[in-house]
Amino acid sequence: MTATLPHLLRARAAEQPGRTALISTDGRELTFGEWDAGADSGAHALLGKGLQRGDRVGLLFENDRWLDFAIACMAVLRAGGVAVPLPVRQSAATLKVMTDDCAARWVLTETPSGAPSGAPSGSGVPDVGLSPDDPAQILYTSGTTGTPKGVMATHANLAWGHSEKPAFRAFGHSEHFVHAFPIGTNAGQMMLVNTLTAHPAAVVAGRFDAAEFCGLIERFRAGTVFVVPAMATELLDSGAWRGHDLSSVVLLSSSADALPPRVAAGLPEAFPKATIVNYYTSTEAVPAQTTMIVDPRRPDSVGRATARGDLMIADEQGTPLAPGEVGEVWLRAPAAQRTYYGDPGTSAKTFKNGWTRMGDLGRLDADGYLYLVGRESDVVKSGGLKISLPQVETAVREHPAVADAAVVGLPHPTMGQMIAAAVVRKPARIFLEALTSGGEVLTADGLRTFLHQRLARNEVPSRFVFVDALPRNELGKVVKAEVRALFAVAGPAGRPLESAEERALGRLWTGVLGVPATSADDDFFALGGDSLRAAQLAARVAERFGVPVEGTFAFDRPVLAEQAGQIRAAVATVSHAGGAAAEDGALSGVQAHWWRWMHASGERRHMPPVHVAVRVPGGLDLGVLGRAVAELVRRHDSLRTVFRDPGVGPVLASLDVPIAVHRRESEAEAALLAAERVRAPFDVENGPLLRVEVIELPQGCVLVVSVHHLVFDGGSATVLLRELGVLYSAFRHGAPSPLPPAVSYGDVVAWERLEWARHRPWWEATLEGAPASLERLPGRARDVRLYLADAHRFAVPDVRELARSRGATVSMTLAAAWALTLGAWARAPELVVATPVSGRSKPGFENAVGCLFRWNLITVPGTGALPDVVDHVRRESLAAAERQFHDWGHLHAAVPFPAYFRFESWGHPAHLPGVPSEEFDVPAGPIMEWTMPDDDPDLHPPEILISESHDGTLRGQLIYNRHAYEAAAIADLAADFVRRIT
């Protein structure tokens, strides 16, 4: 029969009555014989007072009274009751919620007694007939994210894995183990079981103080130490370990959550002889757990399940997910499963067929190691986008002036939730770097600027509060409910609106929000702002002040005074630039560069068009299609553009785009024709630069659309297909166009010029001294004047795990690997990588059609560890993305031969919305050859293009000049790239 804890105590007392079980920091000791006798005495007293089998008994003991608690707990169990350890640091109201929830008969604060004087262990106590299936304990969860829930465990669960006469006892390398866990916690109750069953005596600190804790370890020469991550962090950061001899420790166990990587890396210095082990479980899941020896190769992992098949990542329906996919974490143990007391509905969601739903999100790597992404409650939706609060917290803590931080979601009537951060500053006297260059302590605006380099715009907190300390529970976990309450505290009245910009802005706020904005310290979102009102404000600010304002204006600086300061700076910039309005038909920086190149080389063929093809099984009405295409051309000025004189620029013409109709008998023949037509040359001087063709088949047809790259890009293809489908459906049913007015490409160019005037100093400073090219191009032939494009194709390994671990995208991760590959190939310590961006980050531009894409240039180390370079690429890419509206010709002049890296991700197959259709593959066409201009020889390294297909598979191409490189050398370069990410 499975043992119970009272059985285990009775057997241990009979075997080793004089052996010490517990030692408190005040010098008191409790032997197993004394413990057993005290439990008998207490059980007799409780039964004498009328305790019935199954009655719940609350145990409220201060944490420095572990000995008394141990006796009282065993007395309750031995009498057939259910022990309810209560946390002493909770409010009276919360304690009442707990005791009312479990209908506790009594709450004990002293050890019960009443056995006959001098009676031997076990006498005078009726046999209550304990069964392993009887309820034994109700332990309340920490309630850090909500209301505490009572988790009930049976005797079989608590005593699982232990026998009355074990072959060996755990932690036999130690004579003492040390912990400082509070009584009313799961960690504390696990230590109670260890005290009862393990070889060493338990030394229990009444509270955790890093210096006192280290003193206990040294005094008792403890071989085993138990902590949680918050304790380990405080111990390490305090430096208390430097003043004590901790060399006796051979095992340091951290449980409950993953150790922060920097803490895991620092602990070996404090505990030079210790094996550091990380455990992960929960009050609900015990004894199920994952465990691992802390591994520098997996610093973020919490290990693998202790038994194969006892760990699962599943989707919301409970279906197991493949390695690398993020889902809900489930653990399973062979022991009797726990349950929520008196809450069958919640229990059914958490406990299923032996599995326990942990409430955490995580993923498994290929070797079965678990990585936690955050709790489900730590992933919030703001404005329809999911945001990981732990990821934001990590970014906030990266600031050198931040000592601690907690990030929460605050309810918002429209956005759902808004992101807010409570921050603890490092004292300036301790950390001088906490001072800004202006000599002021870290502010919300300074922190927000810092975070914009590390987070997406929607992830940057809208509100900040600076506090002396974060609210934590007894185990050091941040209590998120109390953090949210910090933002409800009303602050002092803000200063009045003073400057002309502040007063004008206050009127705009009042009009948008419907409530008066009366202070320069007002927060846009605190007054009820949301994403819609933020967009309205940006539009009104741009109209009122005549300056470019992005849709994220209110998110970037939610405080009115900060917005006024940005407006003043923008007005000054525009005035200094002498205005930047672009005339109709003006060239963007990318277009100007390409147009100059085409005239210098005399070539047109080097720029293949952007094309898309869809199969329409039911065919198309050509008359309706013609009307839809004509409306598209009318809507988008880029589709009416021609190029006649490089000194004048493009011309907007009145163009008709006829629909060419072909007939083929099979899809194979249609594919060959499509390949031929999408590569047919365009007349850039007379147009049109849009070609729409229908290839009719015996059943249905293929629609082929191709547009010259000078006026179009991949993002435009998505817009064009969507609008073409909408217009076709509307016209087919006799309805007018439902589309709103389109964004003029001239407006895009005007915006680019304004932004270039604003960001030009940043780009020039960033690229100053950057290498203009790779000085060594191994294996490249000399004096090459012809370009014959060829491509080496290869499979690319999955890098999602590395990308997620660094908070980066797959594209950023692969760009870092490519930089390291080229760095080693060309022996370059540094190089400039060109990465494409959509040019559609300004609200409204997402529906523009034209050549909006551009290249951002980032300087990247050519040597180093891949994770570190991924971090660098992520940081620099985010900074450049904020300034992506630049003049490409100026950037290209600074770095004429960067390393081009392209990443294409196809979220779903192309189709014509509203019309049953599917993507139609167009085969690759013939290799093209052209002459390079004398002043622009090809000194680029091979270009890499990586495509992510619909199923997530990655495929790579190295595109190179066949006149310059041997195919074998390019294949070797691709193999080296793959090795770096395998």
Per-residue pLDDT of 331-341, as tens digits, reads: 988 888 899 89
Question: Which comes out higher in pLDDT, residue 602 or 404?
Answer: 404
Residue 625 lies in domain: 589-744
What pLDDT, on a 0 to 100 scale, did the predictor assign at position 353?
A: 86
Position 73 in a domain = yes
**Nearby residues of 525 by Cβ (< 8 Å), 6 or more positions away:** 412, 418, 462, 463, 554, 558
Q: Is the peptide bond before 658 cis (omega within 30 degrees of 0)?
A: no
Closest CA to 158 of 61, 76, 254: 76
215 domain-assigned: no
Candidate ranges 192-196, 654-658, 799-803; pick with highest mean pLDDT = 192-196
Same domain for 771 and 805, yes or no, is yes
Q: Which residues have CB under 8 Å from 953's CB, separation 6+?
A: none
Domain CATH for 408: 3.30.300.30
Q: With a cut of 70, say whether residue 490 has pLDDT above it.
A: no
Q: b or e along 290-309 (b: 16 or more beta carbons within 10 Å of the residue's beta carbon)?
A: bbbebeeebbbbbbbbbeee
Report residue 634: phi and psi, to 5°: -65, -40
**In angstroms, rounded to a whole number, what is the distance separating the alpha carbons of residues 362 and 352?**
19
Last residue of a domain, one of 687, 710, 744: 744
What value does the mean pLDDT take over residues 124-129? 65
690: left (phi over 0), alpha (psi -120 to 50) or beta: beta
Sole residue written with tokens 């940057």: 460
Instruction: Check which CATH number belongs to the domain holding 883 and give it.
Output: 3.30.559.30
Report yes or no: 642 and 651 within 8 Å, Cβ to Cβ: yes
C-alpha separations of 28 from 41, 64, 109 in Å = 20, 11, 18
pLDDT, one tens digit per residue, over 59-83 is 999 988 999 999 999 999 999 999 9
d(CA 48, CA 50): 5
Same domain as 852, residue 753 = yes
Distance CA 322, CA 722 (A): 33
Strand partners, 355: 332, 352
Q: How far is CA 220 from the centre of its chain?
A: 43
Evaluate if pTM is beyond 0.75: no
Q: Are residues 725 and 826 in the same domain?
A: no
Residue pair 846/713 in contact by the 8 Å Cβ criterion:
no
User: Positive or negative, the Cα torsion across 441, 444, 449, 454?
Assistant: positive
Residue the block writes with tokens 């439902």: 738
The mean-pLDDT minimum among 23-32, 455-464, 767-776 falls in 455-464
Phi, then psi, of 665 in degrees rounded to 5:
-95, -15
Average pLDDT over residues 545-561: 75
Local confidence band at 583 (pLDDT 50, 70, 90 cut-offs): very low
Asked whether residue 670 is assigned to any structural domain, the reply reads yes
Segment 408-419 shows an average pLDDT of 71
- 784 and 895 assigned to the same domain: yes
Same domain, 876 and 922: yes
Q: Which residue has the tokens 């489908």?
A: 725
CATH number of the domain where residue 143 is located: 3.40.50.980
127: in domain: yes
Residue 453 has pLDDT above 90, yes or no: no
Point out the domain boundary residue: 705, 723, 744: 744
SS3 assignment, position 466 = strand
Q: What is the largest CA-CA distance in the chain?
A: 112
Q: Let me know whether 709 and 671 are in one domain.
A: yes
- Helix, strand, coil shares, percent, the chain, to 5: 35, 25, 40
Regarding whether 709 and 593 lie in a shared domain, the answer is yes
Distance CA 483, CA 415 (A): 20
From the CB of residue 759, how many other CB atoms can be counted at a distance below 10 Å? 19
Q: Can you tell me the distance from the alpha carbon of 510 to that of 355, in angstroms, rounded to the nearest whole number?
A: 53
Please report, as a single letter, which amino acid is at residue 907: G
Q: Is 948 within the bounds of a domain? A: yes
Strand 641-645 with 649-652, pairing: antiparallel
Q: 363 and 373 in contact (C-beta within 8 Å)?
A: yes
Question: Beta-strand (E) ranges in 38-149?
Answer: 56-59, 82-85, 106-108, 135-140
Q: In sequence order, which ranges of 714-858 are alpha helices (DSSP H)?
A: 714-732, 745-767, 800-805, 810-826
Which of left, alpha, beta for 903 (phi over 0: left; psi -120 to 50: alpha)? Answer: beta
Residue finishing a domain among 692, 711, 744: 744
Say yes or no to pLDDT of 491 above 60.
Answer: no
Q: Please name the residue that has the structure tokens 């069964």.
A: 131
- Number of domains making up the chain: 5
Helices (H), 514-584: 531-545, 553-556, 560-576
Residue 430: DSSP 8-state: T
Residue 565: which residues within 8 A CB-CB, separation 6 or more? Answer: 501, 557
Tell whether 734 and 763 lie within a shared domain: no
Q: Residue 479 and residue 703: Cα distance in Å, rounded? A: 58
Q: CA 588, CA 854: separation in Å to the nearest integer?
A: 10
Give the model's pLDDT for residue 489.
Answer: 53
Number of Cα atoms under 13 Å in the Cβ half of residue 365: 19
pLDDT of residue 9: 93
Do 883 and 955 belong together in one domain? yes
Answer with the residue of higher pLDDT: 195 or 437: 195
> Residue 610: pLDDT band by 50, 70, 90 thresholds?
confident
Query: What DSSP designation does 837 have?
Result: E
Q: Kindly state whether residue 540 falls inside one of the protein's structural domains.
A: yes
Residue 259, C-beta contacts closer than 8 angstroms, at least 6 positions apart? 229, 232, 267, 276, 278, 294
pLDDT in tens, 198-237: 999 999 998 899 999 999 999 999 999 999 888 898 898 8
Q: What is the pLDDT of residue 435?
A: 36
| Residue found under tokens 């034209």 | 850
Residue with tokens 């005037």: 757
User: Residue 143's pLDDT band (boundaries 50, 70, 90)?
Assistant: low
User: In terms of domains, do 719 and 764 share one?
Assistant: no
pLDDT single digits (tens) 906-917: 656 788 888 888
Compute the half-sphere exposure of residue 665: CA atoms within 13 Å on the CB side of its CA. Answer: 0
Half-sphere exposure of 658 (CA within 13 A, CB side): 3
* Cis peptide, bond prior to residue 688, ω within 30 of zero: yes
Which 3 state secondary structure label does DSSP give 722?
Answer: helix
d(CA 663, CA 657): 19
The domain that holds 600 is classified in CATH as: 3.30.559.10
Residues 322, 315: Cα–Cα separation, whole Å: 10
pLDDT tens digits, 752-806:
888 888 888 889 889 988 998 888 888 888 777 777 778 899 999 999 888 888 8
Q: Is residue 252 part of a domain?
A: no
Q: Tell whether 614 and 717 lie within a shared domain.
A: yes
Residue 890 has pLDDT above 60, yes or no: yes
Name the pLDDT band for 588 (thresholds 50, 70, 90).
Answer: confident
Q: State the pLDDT at residue 325.
A: 84
The edge-to-edge listing of strands for the beta sheet with 854-861 is 854-861, 830-837, 899-905, 943-948, 954-961, 786-796, 929-931
Q: Which residues partner with 374 through β-bridges?
A: 361
Dihedral-angle region of residue 534 (phi above 0 means left; psi in -120 to 50 means alpha; beta otherwise): alpha
- pLDDT value of residue 601: 52
Tell me how far apart the alpha carbons of residues 403 and 467 are, in angstroms, rounded to a whole number. 11
User: Domain holding 545: CATH number?
Assistant: 1.10.1200.10
- pLDDT, tens digit, for every residue of 717-732? 888 998 999 899 889 8
In a domain, 266, yes or no: no
- Whether residues 709 and 761 share a domain: the answer is no
